[in-house]
Amino acid sequence: MSIPTLDIQDLKLGFKGYTGYAEVLHGISLSVAPGERVALVGESGSGKSVTARIVLGLLQELRTARISGSVRFEGKELDRLTKRERHALRGRAMSMIFQDPTSSLNPVFRIGEQFHDVLRRADAKITREAALERAASILAEVSVRDADRVLNAFPFQLSGGLNQRVMIAMALANEPALLIADEPGTALDVTVQAQTLQLMRKLVEEHHTAVLFISHNLGVVREFADRVYVIYKGRIVEQGPTRAVFEGPRHPYTRALMAAVPRLTGGGIPDIEENSPDFGAPIEIHPDEVQT
């Protein structure tokens, strides 16, 4: 078995605030193999976004955050890396796609300039011309034809779908080993979201990029992921291959989540009960269908 791209063991996170200590993650474990697409599913507030931010090392800098457990990236314990080493991973070995593409791009800089900054993470001396050329070729991969216009535009001049493709192109520009996608395109309308997700899927397959896909949208997850982790209130409650989980959900929370799914829009947070004693049931693990 090869070394997983991402391996999280017993990760706990708490915040120290005015009102005392509040634990948000109660020891979650998950792993993503090279080239594997793994989904982390749960409602908002379940702890899925903070997990992503810990992997990127963004929360570690908060003085109120208390983190314990192990996060290994390609076998390296992130905690043991120096700040500089951890920083070096960001934007190069791992990158991230955000929920709302338009507000995740800086409003006062042209797309080309922002692309240049991203590419500079891998090659500090890259010239503007070389960066724009490279950007245009990656944009072509996400089916952006008039790359020159896009690179010369400000985010507000482009449609949400186009900005989303720009984000995907940026995220993959430096050939990262791991891509974290935090509810990508939730702010877009459904058809555009589906299109861009397909593009993303095609691209990560071609580049053999591992993906940690964070979502509350089960329909999307089913399409996209190889394996699924269901997270509820800071605990993983069910995990397994996508097919197994969808065809035979075992945990009461997963079943509630599934029951809420069949709807046309797919957007929005499923209507499920705020809480139920059953949801505290222990974790359900489906065996992997194919050993990796």
Amino acid in position 258: M
DSSP-derived letter for residue 105 is: S
Of the ranges 72-80, 115-123, 139-147, 257-265, which one interacts with other proteins (CB under 8 A)?
115-123
Cα–Cα distance measured from residue 213 to residue 38, given in angstroms and rounded to the nearest whole number: 6
Of the ranges 5-13, 149-157, 193-201, 280-288, which one interacts with other proteins (CB under 8 A)?
149-157
- Which SS3 state, helix, strand or coil, does residue 98 take? coil
Binders of other proteins among residues 18 to 77 (CB under 8 A) are: 56, 58, 63
Amino acid in position 218: L
Q: Spell 12-34 as b/e; 16+ CB within 10 A means b.
A: ebbbeeeeeeeebbebbebbbbb
- Which SS3 state, helix, strand or coil, does residue 171 take? helix
**Residue 199, number of CB atoms within 10 A of its CB:** 19
Of the ranges 81-89, 204-212, 248-256, 281-289, which one interacts with other proteins (CB under 8 A)?
81-89
Contact pattern for other proteins over residues 273 through 292, marking x by CB under 8 A: --------------------
Provide, rounded to whole angstroms, the least separation between the CB of residue 40 and other proteins: 16
- Among residues 22 and 62, whose Cβ is nearest to other proteins? 62
Of 156, 202, 208, 248, which one interacts with other proteins (CB under 8 A)? 156
Number of residues that bind other proteins (CB under 8 A): 28
Cα–Cα distance measured from residue 51 to residue 251, given in angstroms and rounded to the nearest whole number: 21
91 counts as binding other proteins under rule CB under 8 A:
yes
237 φψ region: left (φ > 0), alpha (ψ -120 to 50), beta (else) = alpha
Provide, rounded to whole angstroms, the least separation between the CB of residue 92 and other proteins: 7
Contact residues for other proteins, defined by CB under 8 A = 56, 58, 63, 87-92, 95-96, 98-100, 103-109, 117-118, 121, 154, 156-157, 170
